[in-house]
A and B are shown apart, each in its own frame.
Chain A
Amino acid sequence: MGESARISILARCRHVPALGLLMGLFCLPMDLYAQGRVVAQEPLDIVIMAASHLSLRIGTTGGTIDRVSFTVAQLPGSGAVAGVSSGAYPVPVRASSTPSGATKVLTADSSTPLNDGFGHTIPFTQISWTGAGGVPSGTFTGSSNQQIWTGTASLGSGATMSFFYANTVYVPPGTYSGRVTYTLSSP
């Protein structure tokens, strides 16, 4: 069985050179043609406009302004109080730019102290944060242009801030509210 099969193949092989030559004569132009013959070309000019931009998000997505609250149950000097956010906590920080490698500066305006509506205030210097994911830790200075972070990379997922109230000043009891405004700029 195996022998007969081998003989059969050998028998066919004798015709291969002649067949190949014959096929080659007719098929060579066809093979070249099979790759496609270009019959028309039209140019298309493309312009991509990439404007520079900066994106910043502190806290929840959308137009919501997150509120970080500190419930102070101890006397001043008895330790810092951790904050609780109305949104995600620790508070997410996202900052990016086009071009992606542009130098970015994140600043905070904490110049308006927290107040209770009765003339009593708590300076923002009482509030500090622990940063993660590239955000450095710090304490608000109560200034209008405090640098929080600078860099050429983006602040992506994992960049967060956890806030603490120092609780070292005596103030009348009440609810004190204030707002910090963050700004991302590129020099």
Chain B
Amino acid sequence: MMRWILPILCVCLLPFAADAKQLEVFPNALTLELKPVDFDQVESTPGFLQIRIDTKLLRGSRWRVSLELALPLTSAGRTFRAESLSWTAQPPFVSRNLLPNQRVIVGEGPIDGRTVEGRLVWRAGGGAPSAAMFRGRVMVILEELP
């Protein structure tokens, strides 16, 4: 009898174990539409990104979330400047902009068993090099610090 309990328990707990994630990002795609706000200024519609960190599943003393441009925003050989893509956020996350070849820290905090949640409001600004649809990819990276 006892020899059946452990496998059954494992099978029952497997879906919960699979669902448990240290980092959740929603949605996983943002579309920002550039619109002229003045003659020399173009600004996009906002894009909202929710980030959730479950520190119960982390080791060490501090967590850190960074963003890194994995695929540059391009369209037919033209590139949209990474620096022109920025976000605003509330603590523990910070407002910054992307950088082309650099991991940008979005937030940092203690690993204390609490769930950290925040929203980044994204905007694209500056001028587009051409009228086109620029596509790229950013990686949201969660790190444990000792």
User: Which A residues form the contact surface with B (CB < 8 A)?
Assistant: 30, 33-34, 36-53, 55, 57, 94-96, 98-100, 154, 156
Chain A: which residue is nearest B53 at the CB level? A40
The 4 closest A-B pairs by CB, nearest first: A50-B128, A52-B131, A36-B143, A40-B23
B138 near A154 with CB under 8 A, answer no
Least Cβ distance of B138 to chain A in Å? 5
Q: How many residues of B contact A (CB 8 A)?
A: 50
B128 near A98 with CB under 8 A, answer yes
CB contact between A96 and one of B39, B133, B144 (< 8 Å): that residue: B39
B128 near A42 with CB under 8 A, answer no
Enumerate chain A residues within 8 angstroms of B134, measured Cβ to Cβ: 47-50
Give the contact stretch, choosing among B5-13, B29-37, B89-97: B29-37
CB contact between B131 and one of A47, A51, A57 (< 8 Å): that residue: A51
B133 near A47 with CB under 8 A, answer yes
12 A-B interface contacts by CB (under 8 A): A37-B143, A40-B23, A41-B142, A42-B139, A43-B139, A47-B134, A95-B39, A96-B40, A98-B34, A98-B127, A99-B128, A156-B39
A99 near B130 with CB under 8 A, answer yes
Least Cβ distance of A174 to chain B in Å? 38
User: Which B residues form the contact surface with A (CB < 8 A)?
Assistant: 21-25, 28-36, 39-40, 42, 44, 47, 49, 58, 60, 64, 67, 70, 73, 80, 85, 122, 124, 127-146
Chain A binding site: helix, strand, loop or mixed by DSSP? Answer: strand
Chain A: which residue is nearest B51 at the CB level? A42
Beyond contacts A45-B29, A46-B29, A96-B40: 9 other A-B pairs, Cβ-Cβ < 8 A, are A33-B145, A39-B58, A42-B28, A46-B135, A46-B138, A47-B31, A49-B31, A50-B133, A50-B134
